[in-house]
Amino acid sequence: MSILDDQYPKTVSLSDGTAVELRAMSADDKKAILKFAKSLPQEDLLFLSMDLTEPAVVEEWIKNIRDGVSISLVAYDGEELVGYANIHRNRAPWMHRVGEIRVNVAPHFRARGFGRVMISHIFDIAGSVSLKKLIAQMTTDQHGAQAVFRKLGFVPEALLADFVEDRNGMTRDLVMMTFDVDGLTDQAGAPVKL
């Protein structure tokens, strides 16, 4: 039983007319997630914060969904999983209003407005579970992803040097972009511009 069960599955249409079904992710999606991750180009795998080609990592994600720590949508084009969007809530009490968004769209579905659709659904879900601030993290090399989130109203709030390591063991700088769900912020100054 998921808090998404009364709203999903739901069919959405992309601007080119392609119909995609959005579903609340569950243990039934494990095989499809592994297949999706294994089909991603090396370049994409390099930047994944979790190694989703590993069954144990996907099982951990499913456990997080069961525990209410993650809320996740998966998208299917027929039998094929073509994307996911996830909100991960921090377990620390003082961060319980903050959610990290992770979105991933199959390469052949990118630049067709699909990422925007997934993110807008995740925004609505974030609001419905009283999250106040959303975070999206990416490396400084991921220019496209930064552009997408900027267009959706996220602002770069922190740059963390040599903060993450890719699958080849190379360190990368991390950009933390944020979005205030209520449009409210208690920051004294403007966000850091990168």
Ligand X SMILES: CC(C)(COP(=O)(O)OP(=O)(O)OC[C@H]1O[C@@H](n2cnc3c(N)ncnc32)[C@H](O)[C@@H]1OP(=O)(O)O)[C@@H](O)C(=O)NCCC(=O)NCCS
CB 5 within 8 A of CB 24: yes
Smallest gap, in angstroms, from Cβ of residue 17 to ligand X?
15
Rule CB under 6 A: choose which of 22, 65, 82, 105 binds ligand X: 105
Q: Are strands 70-77 and 19-24 parallel, antiparallel or unpaired?
A: antiparallel
Judged by CB under 6 A, does residue 73 bind ligand X?
A: no
Q: Which is nearer to ligand X, 6 or 43 (CB)?
A: 43
Judged by CB under 6 A, does residue 52 bind ligand X?
A: no
Residue 14 buriedness (CB in 10 A; 0-12 / 13-18 / 19+): middle
Rule CB under 6 A: choose which of 151, 162, 167, 192 binds ligand X: 151
Q: Are strands 133-139 and 98-105 parallel, antiparallel or unpaired?
A: parallel
Judged by CB under 6 A, does residue 121 bind ligand X?
A: no
11, 49, 134, 137 from 183: Cα distances, Å: 29, 27, 11, 20
CB 141 within 8 A of CB 172: yes
Judged by CB under 6 A, does residue 104 bind ligand X?
A: yes
| Count of positions on this chain that bind ligand X (CB under 6 A) | 20
Smallest gap, in angstroms, from Cβ of residue 191 to ligand X?
18
CB 71 within 8 A of CB 63: no
The stretch among 89-97, 103-111, 154-162, 164-172 that binds ligand X (CB under 6 A) is: 103-111
Q: Which is nearer to ligand X, 43 or 186 (CB)?
A: 43
Site residues for ligand X per CB under 6 A = 44, 102-105, 110-116, 136, 138, 142, 144-145, 147-148, 151
